[in-house]
Amino acid sequence: MDYSIKIGGEAGQGIQTIGDILSHIFAKAGYHVFTHQDYESRIRGGHNFYQIRISDKPITASRSKIDILVALDKDSILQHKEELTQQGQVLYDSAYLKEKFSNANFIDVPFLELALTQGGSKLMANTVAVGAVIGMLGMNPKIMFEHIEKTFKKKGEEIINSNLRSAEAGYKYAKEKCLTCSFMVSGFESPKMLITGNEAIGAGAIASGLKFYSAYPMTPSTGIFNFVSDHAKDFEIIVEQAEDEIAAVNMAIGASFAGVRAMTGTSGGGFALMVEGISLAGMTETPLVIALAQRPGPATGLPTKTEQADLFFALFAGHGEFPKVLFAPGTPEEAFFLTNKAFDLAERYQITVIILTDQYLADSQWSYEKFNLSNLKYKDYRLKGEEFKRLKEYKRHTFTETGVSPLGIPGNSFHLVITDSDEHDEEGHITEEAFIRNKMVEKRLFKKLPLIQKEIEPPKLYGTKEPEILLLCWGSTYGIVREVVDELSKSYRVSMLHFSEIFPFPEEKSWLHLLRKANLVINIEQNATSQFAKLFRMETGIKIEKHINRFDGRPFTVDELLERVYEQIR
Amino acid sequence: MNKLDKFKGIQPAWCPGCGNFSILKAFNEAMDELGLEPHDFVIVSGIGQAGKFPHYTRCNTFNGLHGRTLPVATGIKLANHKLRVFAVAGDGDCYGEGGNHLVHAIRRNIDVKLFVHDNQIYGLTKGQASPTTMKGIVTKTQPFGVFSEQFNPLSLAIALNCSFVARAFAGDITHLKEIIKSAINHKGFSLVDILQPCVSFNKINTFEWYKERVYYLPADYDPTDRVKAFEKSLEWEDRIPLGIIYLNKRPTYEELIPIIREKTLLEQEPLIHRIGDLLAKFY
């Protein structure tokens, strides 16, 4: 089983509702699910779609071909009918589209009419559509009914029942009318969890003891802010909507200085405003975690689309020289655990850790059996309570073997915690002394950096250990490149080398031999200038000659990327 | 031992005769009279001559970036609202670079005390106009004189219903000390605009200039009357009022956040053991 369902229409028509209900039904059925969304920066109108892929085997990306197209407007048919497979079906309501199609694979389901007659409100049309898709697939409707009951639980008996009737009506109608439907769905297995990149970062932060999240809303990072806010009460977290991103980062720095784990999240334009704050955190050695969800720039760019073009910006963010760590998770699971690692490293080494994602990963849903929570790490590195009080003397920036000074909490003892954005002495007082300056740079940079490098995991190899073709990539392209490797493995010895802990490069460099041995190394990036390949050369001296780039704001699809890799092989 | 020795910081690098020395003296005396120890509070400062202030007394210190005192102070206060948080900034720092933060800190009514060293000029960068420089004054970078309307921090604060608005003068240490104490004893965001002559770069608003104009609000002045207070805040040219111009009893921001009603955020253990419940919601 490997089917793709696309729901297309204008913003505000309920594409998200239909997509979310369907994908959750599939995950509950125990199928492997992958979803991605393409939307525009508007609340009404335009053309948006939500694509769901289901399989009985693990999947990590969307395919180009679709099996069921739910067309809520005519544009969806015009734009996507070429993507249909041979047995592909189109679900539409001629009353919506004001047009009837005679093609055998076009099923006219009266969403609106069934909603009114069965559900009593045209608002139920989306539920009719959900029922129709499940009916076409020939799935047992049991899980659909259960999920609808759960979803509308808070809205009362009447709403639940009218939704159930609407879903059933759609289900029966499509099942009866779809004469050419030949879908074979798998039996139910134990339910899977379904999680987006943004949710995984939020959950990872909470799992790491997040106490303070300050941000200014900006697509596509807002999902993290929403997620943390949803759980602020249960997990005793303060969420603060700042007046701007400058305030957001400075508030997080203040909270962190005061002794709690703090984080902020934004996208490129907001990150630009945070840059002086990153430098401040660098100088004052205040732990800080930032999620940077990339979208295409420059300036406002394509606000709801995807790109990996802020790697250099994040890498060099902040005036002056100070250590910093960059992560770029490839999957929600990695996002969860790397966020955990980000908090640990930030506090342990008193540095800024930036988690780079993009709209594609932020909004994509992946399914999992479970996350192995025993892999989470929580260690409190702060100096506080009795341990702090017992000290005879305390200097916030005292010189140590490791460069890491004890991180005291202000007000926690009679010792004073002093820090300064100016160069400072061990106590934290402003100084311009050359000798101290040199020692401080040595402490912040040269002593800490090698220790941090030891913490960085090497890139992950997927595929054969002795590849003739090596595909190099980083961050959110993981799932797509992985499926390309699966396809190419049928005819070639091919592997993917994926980087998710992207800066600094790990101390361990045994993986470099893969590049020397491979006949063809292709670097794949969702940007115009192959920034990662440039970073790669900076860190290893190796220049990569072949590149595949995409920068129209849309993610690679497996089939398209496969085609472009073939072009390089030929 | 002098009772103020515990507040003796590093050697100040201010110009001899600078109004900041009297602010420092008034502040240290106020701390002593309030019975506060250096570790009982934190001062967040920005950049400018005022930004160096916390180094010259003794206290927990976050000397941050130009204009960003209030967001850092807000973060500290939200993380640990039992710690007293003071912000010290200059007129360029707080009314110029950080103006947006001032507006929103007042709106939030976070319990932070803001002391602005207002010398109506940029001192650290040597004599450019600040938002409070008076119209027409010629400086190095305003060769035709200042065209912009003079920034009025008190009127702005009253318009935003700031819970404590006062003005003091570095030339009267005793009065300034009392204002500092009142601000600290008040619950809610407090703005104290301190007129502070800059002996090096402001040759117009000198000690004498202020001395001739300042007067104390009479004992029967009612600072809770917002409209009267607004009127009072507009006085400048010939007579400049000193004292508590406006106050109200709005609840503080921290008081409104239910999760820190019992304990500070800092005192709460992270609930990481409950992460399993959180992930269960994804099924």
The angle formed by the CA atoms of residues B72, B77 and B78, to the nearest 5 degrees, is 100
Considering only CB atoms, which chain B residues are within 8 Å of A378?
Answer: 270, 272
Among A455, A490, A515, give the residue marking a domain's end.
A455
Q: How far is it between the farthest Cα atoms of chain B?
A: 74
> Which of A33, A257, A274 should one mutate to test binding to chain B, selecting the residue with the greatest count of B CBs within 10 A?
A257
ipTM above 0.90, yes or no: yes
Q: Do the domain assignments include residue A388?
A: yes
- Report CB contact under 8 Å: B47, A192: no
Considering only CB atoms, which chain A residues are within 8 Å of B61?
Answer: 416-420, 428
Are both A450 and A471 inside the same structural domain? no
Q: Do the domain assignments include residue A185?
A: no
Nearest to B282 among A193, A280, A413 (CB): A193
Tally the domains of chain A: 4
- Return the pLDDT at B1: 64
Nearest to A244 among B65, B73, B100 (CB): B100
Q: pLDDT tens digit string along B106-165?
A: 999 999 999 999 999 998 899 999 999 999 999 999 999 999 999 999 999 999 999 999
Q: Across the strands, what pairs with A420? A: B63
- Report CB contact under 8 Å: B68, A277: yes
Are both A200 and A349 inside the same structural domain? yes
Nearest to A250 among B63, B72, B257 (CB): B72
| Cβ atoms within 10 Å, residue A357 | 34
Considering only CB atoms, which chain B residues are within 8 Å of A284?
Answer: 62, 64
Please identify which residue in the block is written with the tokens 């009218």. Answer: A162
Enter the pTM of the model. 0.97
Are both A315 and A203 inside the same structural domain? yes
B198 and B130 in contact (C-beta within 8 Å)? Answer: no
Chain B contact present for A201, CB below 8 A: no
Instruction: Output the tens digit of pLDDT for each of chain A's 570 residues.
Output: 999 999 999 988 889 999 999 999 999 999 999 999 988 877 777 889 999 999 999 999 999 999 999 999 999 999 999 999 999 999 999 998 999 999 989 999 999 999 999 988 888 999 999 999 999 999 999 999 999 999 999 999 999 999 999 999 999 999 999 888 889 999 889 999 999 999 999 999 999 999 999 999 999 999 999 999 999 999 999 999 999 999 999 999 999 999 999 999 999 999 999 999 999 999 999 999 999 999 999 999 999 999 999 999 999 999 999 999 999 999 999 999 999 999 999 999 999 999 999 999 999 999 999 999 999 999 999 999 999 999 999 999 999 999 999 999 999 999 999 999 999 999 999 999 999 999 999 999 999 999 999 999 999 999 999 999 999 999 999 999 999 999 999 999 999 999 999 999 999 999 999 999 999 999 999 999 999 999 999 999 999 999 999 999 999 989 999 999 999 998
Are both A536 and A441 inside the same structural domain? no
Q: Which two tokens stand for residue A292?
A: 């940077």
Residues B80-87, mean pLDDT to the nearest whole number: 98
> Which of A261, A420, A423, A433 should one mutate to test binding to chain B, selecting the residue with the greatest count of B CBs within 10 A?
A420
> Which of B273, B279, B281 should one mutate to test binding to chain A, selecting the residue with the greatest count of A CBs within 10 A?
B279
> Which of B102, B266, B274 should one mutate to test binding to chain A, selecting the residue with the greatest count of A CBs within 10 A?
B266
Shortest distance, CA A25 to any CA of chain B (angstroms) = 10
Chain A contact present for B8, CB below 8 A: no
Cα B76 from Cα B110, distance rounded (Å): 11
For A193, nearest residue in chain B (alpha carbons): B283
- Report CB contact under 8 Å: A212, B79: yes
Are both A202 and A245 inside the same structural domain? yes
Determine the structural domain holding residue A439 and report its residue range: 382-455
SS3 B148: coil
Are both A47 and A162 inside the same structural domain? yes
How far apart, in Å, do the first and last CA atoms of chain B sit?
67
Considering only CB atoms, which chain B residues are within 8 Å of A244?
Answer: 100
Q: Do the domain assignments include residue A120?
A: yes
- Report CB contact under 8 Å: B60, A418: yes
Per-domain boundaries in chain B: 5-280
SS3 B88: strand
Tell me the CATH architecture of domain B5-280: 3-Layer(aba) Sandwich (3.40)
Q: How far is it between the farthest Cα atoms of chain A?
A: 87
Are both A220 and A167 inside the same structural domain? no
Nearest to B75 among A193, A214, A415 (CB): A214
- Report CB contact under 8 Å: B101, A243: yes
CATH code where residue A42 lies:
3.40.920.10
Among A375, A400, A424, give the residue marking a domain's end.
A375
Among A403, A428, A455, give the residue marking a domain's end.
A455
Are both A399 and A352 inside the same structural domain? no
Containing H/E element for A88?
strand A84-92
Considering only CB atoms, which chain A residues are within 8 Å of B276?
Answer: 373
User: CA of A519: how far to CAs of A363, A539, A546, in Å?
Assistant: 36, 21, 11
Chain B contact present for A256, CB below 8 A: yes
Task: Tell me the count of A-B CB pairs closer than 8 A.
Answer: 199
Shortest distance, CA B261 to any CA of chain A (angstroms) = 11
Q: Do the domain assignments include residue A189?
A: no
Q: Do the domain assignments include residue A183?
A: no
Chain B contact present for A492, CB below 8 A: no
Chain B contact present for A504, CB below 8 A: no
Are both A297 and A257 inside the same structural domain? yes
Are both A388 and A368 inside the same structural domain? no
Are both A13 and A142 inside the same structural domain? yes
A525 and A474 in contact (C-beta within 8 Å)? Answer: yes
- Report CB contact under 8 Å: B80, A411: yes
For B58, nearest residue in chain A (alpha carbons): A416
Q: Do the domain assignments include residue A182?
A: no
